Structure 1
C-alpha cells in the first residue's frame, strides 16, 4: 500500500513539474510582454514648412470630371463636341474657383441654332399666310 501511494505521488509530481515547465516556456514573463510599436518622436517647434512637388506630365482626373457648360442641359442625351476658342489663363497662373479658364465653341450647337431659327421663321411665315 505504501509503495502504491509513493508511485501516485511521484506521477503527480512529474505531471505537475511538466505542466509548470510548459507554462514557463509558453507564457512570457510580464516584463517581456509586447507593448506595441516604438516610435521616434521629437518635441514640437514652431517654424515654416517648405515642401513642394514639381511634376511634368498629363493631368487625368480619377473621378470623371468633364467639361461643364452652365445653363446647357443637353438635348436627348446627345453629346456635343466643343472646340477651345480662347485660353484665358497662362501656364503657372493661379486660378480661383468658378474662374473662366477657356472659351469654348460648339459648331454643332451653332448649326442646330441656325436650323431652329430658320424653322421658326418658316413657321412664322406659314402662320402669317393663314
Structure 2
C-alpha cells in the first residue's frame, strides 16, 4: 500500500446511499467509483461505477439507486449486492463489479488502492480546469 487519501465518512455514505468520486489510474486515465453502504465490518464498499452488462453508469450523479442492500442498474434493472458486488439476476447475472480498495479508520473512509490516485469528488464530467484556461491534448505547455 503506497498511502491513503481521505474520501468521506461512513456516516455520509449511509445517509446519502452512495458517494461518487473520480480516480486516475497509473496512466492518468479517469474512472468513476461509488462508495455504497454495506453491513460488513467496514460499513462501506467501493465499486467501479459501471454495470458489467453494458458499461451503464450506476450513479449518474444523483446517487446510486439502492434497494434492500443492492445497487440497481438504471438501464436494465440488474441488481448487485452492495457488499460483494455480485449480480445474480438480469442481463448482468453471474458477474461481479470491479472493486476498489478502501479502508475505514474511526468512521473515515480512505482510498488505499495501489496504482490509482484520487482526482475529485463527483463524476468525471464534474472535473473543472484548475487554471480556467482552454483544455488541450497538446504535449506543449505554455
Give the TM interval when normalised to the shorter protein: under 0.3
The structure with the largest helix share of the pair is 1
Structure 2 length-normalised TM:
0.19
The structure with the largest strand share of the pair is 2
- Greater relative contact order (Cα < 8 A, sep 6+): 2
Structure 1 length-normalised TM:
0.20
